[in-house]
Amino acid sequence: MRTRIYNARILTMTEGNKIINGEIRICGSRIQYVGEEKKDDTVWDREIDAGGNLIMPGFKNAHTHSAMTFLRSYADDLPLLDWLNKQVFPMEAKLTKEHIYDLSKLAVMEYLTSGITANFDMYLTPETIAEASVDCGFRTVMAGGVNDFSQSVEELEGWYQTYNQYHELISFQLGFHAEYTTGRKILERISALSHKYHAPVFAHNSESRQEVAQCMERTGMTPTAYMNELGLFDYGGGGYHCVHMTEEDLQIFADKKLSVITNPGSNTKLASGIAPVQAMLDKGINIGIGTDGPASNNCLDMFREMFLVTGLAKLKEDDASAVDADKVLYMATVGGARAMGLTDCDVLGEGKLADLIMINLRRPNMQPLNNLTKNIVYSGSKENVALTMVNGKILYENGEFHIGVRPEEVYEKANRIISSFTL
C-alpha cells in the first residue's frame, strides 16, 4: 500500500515541537518521505488531503492490562487491596484464553480512538493477546507478569524467545507482577534470565505507601533498592507507577537508565498518590505514560492521562510551571516508545515505521491555533483523532474501524463474558 498525506501540518518530534507544513509518504509499513510538498509521477493507492490538520507520531500506551475491559465499572470505589483481592482476582480466575482474546480487541478499539498506536501489555495469556493484536493490525509489546501464583520463569523464557520472533507487530520484554507478589527465589531466577539475554526487566513498583512499607519491613529496603540489589536492573527496564519513591530510588533509576511509566488516572482513582514527575525529569529519567487497565482507570484515553500528568504535578509542586505540556507530549510519544523498545516508531522520519495519527484541528477545542502542542495536552480529546495508522495501515478513520471485525460483535462478546460471570 502506497499512501500520501498532503496539505498537512506535521509534528515529527525529531526537533522538539517544531511543526512543518508539507506531506508524508508511506510505502508499505515505512515512511518514505516527510517534508515540503513535491510533484512527481508516483502512483498512489490513496492520497489524503489533510486539510491543514496535524500529523504526528501515535501515542504509546506504556502500561496496560487490556483484557481487563470486562471489569470496567464493575469494581469501583474500593480501597486498592479490597479492589484487588475481593473483586479483581476472583473474577480474573474465571477467564479463559478465548475470553482474553475477545476482551483485548475491545481495548484495541479504544486505543485507536485515542490515537494510541502501540501498547505495553502485562496480562495472563500472551498467546491470545498477541493473536488479538495481530488480527487487528495493532502493535503490542508484552511483558511477563510472573508472580507466586501464576506464570512461571520457564514460561517467561519461552515467551521471550517466541514472541520476539512471532510477528512484526509483536515483541516481548521480561517482567514480573511486583515485588510484593513475587518471592525472592523467583526474582533471582528472573535476574539470571536478564543476565543471560542482556534484557531489561519491568514490574509494578512503589504504587502504594503500604507496598513500600511492607517491603521495608521484609527486606530493609525499598522495592527499587531491593530489586536493584538482586541485579534485576543491570540491563535496564523500569517500573510502572513509581509513586512513592525516595531520593535513593530516583538515583537508581537515573544511574541504571531505567524508565518510569506514570499512570496518573489509575493512581488518582485508587488514591495511590501523585508520582514525583518533576523530580524524575530533573534527574533526566525517561518517562512514559500508561493508562493502566480499564478496571482501575477506567478510561483508556491518552488525552486524559496527559492532562493529569501535568495537572497533578503542578499541584504536587505547588508550581504552575512544573512539568511543561511539551514535555508531557514527549512522554506520551517518544518517552513511551523508548521505554517499550520501539525505537523504530518513536518519531516521524524517513525509514521509520508508519505509526501515526491525524489530529483534527477544525474543532472548537483546538481553536485558535496559538500553540498546537499545548492545545493537544491541555484541551485535546478523543474527538480530535481523525485517523490512526499502525504499520502503514489505517485502522481507524473518522469514527470507523478497519480491524477485521464489526464493533457490534466485539461489544456483544464482552457483555456476554461478564454476564456469564455474574449470573
Q: Do 32 and 94 contact (CB within 8 A), yes or no?
A: no
- 102 inside domain: yes
- Cβ 357 vs Cβ 348: under 8 Å: no
CA distance 143 to 147: 13
CATH number at residue 24: 2.30.40.10
What pLDDT sits at residue 17? 87
Task: Show the beta-strand stretches assigned E in 259-403.
Answer: 259-262, 286-289, 356-359, 385-390, 393-397, 400-401
* Count of domains observed in the chain: 2
Q: Is residue 249 one of the residues assigned to a domain? A: yes
In a domain, 205, yes or no: yes
Domain containing 193 — which CATH number? 3.20.20.140
CA dihedral 109, 114, 119, 122 (to 10 degrees): -70
Q: Could you tell me if 190 and 72 lie in one domain?
A: yes
Q: Which of 363, 62, 38 is nearest to 204 (CA)?
A: 62
Confidence at residue 96, expressed as pLDDT on a 0 to 100 scale: 97
Q: Decide which of 339, 360, 382 is a domain's last residue.
A: 339
- Same domain? For 45 and 74 the reply is no
Cα(308)–Cα(361) distance, integer angstroms = 22
Is there a domain that residue 423 lies in? no
- 298 prior amide bond cis, ω within 30: yes
Interstrand relation of 139-143 and 46-49 (parallel, antiparallel or unpaired): unpaired
Q: Are residues 107 and 21 in the same domain?
A: no
Nearest to 267 by CA among 330, 214, 313: 313
Amino acid residing at 170: I
Is 415 domain-assigned? no
Domain boundary among 339, 366, 393: 339
Asked whether residue 148 falls in the same domain as residue 201, the answer is: yes
pTM for the structure as a whole: 0.98
Per-residue pLDDT of the chain (423 residues; tens, 9 = 90+): 999 999 999 999 998 889 999 999 999 999 999 999 998 999 999 999 999 999 999 999 999 999 999 999 998 998 777 888 889 989 999 999 999 999 999 999 999 999 999 999 999 999 999 999 999 999 999 999 999 999 999 999 999 999 999 999 999 999 999 999 999 999 999 999 999 999 999 999 999 999 999 999 999 999 999 999 999 999 999 999 999 999 999 999 999 999 999 999 999 999 999 999 999 999 999 999 999 999 999 999 999 999 999 999 999 999 999 999 999 999 999 999 999 999 999 999 999 999 999 999 999 999 999 999 999 999 999 999 999 999 999 999 999 999 999 999 999 999 999 999 986
For residue 413, tell me if it sits in a domain: no
Residues 229 and 123 in one domain: yes
66 and 33 assigned to the same domain:
no
68 shares its domain with 29? no
Closest residue by Cα to residue 338 from 389, 377, 373, 287: 287
Q: Is residue 160 situated within a structural domain? A: yes
**Whether residue 375 is found in the same domain as residue 392:** yes
> What residue type is 124 in one-letter code?
L
Residue 84 dihedral angles phi and psi, to the nearest 5°: -70, -55
- Whether residue 244 lies inside any domain: the answer is yes
In this structure, how many other beta carbons lie within 10 angstroms of the beta carbon of residue 140? 28
The Cα–Cα gap between 308 and 166 comes to 35
109 & 36 share domain: no
Rounded to 5 degrees, φ, ψ at 421 are -80, -25
In three-state secondary structure terms, 45 is coil
Other CB atoms within a 10 A radius of the CB of residue 248 amount to 13
Last residue of a domain, one of 305, 339, 373: 339
Structural domain for 23, as ranges: 2-57+348-401
Q: How far does Cα 140 stand from its chain's mean position?
A: 9
**Does one domain contain both 128 and 148?**
yes
Same domain membership, residue 363 and residue 255: no
Tell me how crowded residue 169 is: count the other CB atoms within 10 A of its CB: 19
Instruction: Tell me, yes or no, whether 208 and 297 share the same domain.
Output: yes
Cell of 246: 525516595
pLDDT at 423: 65
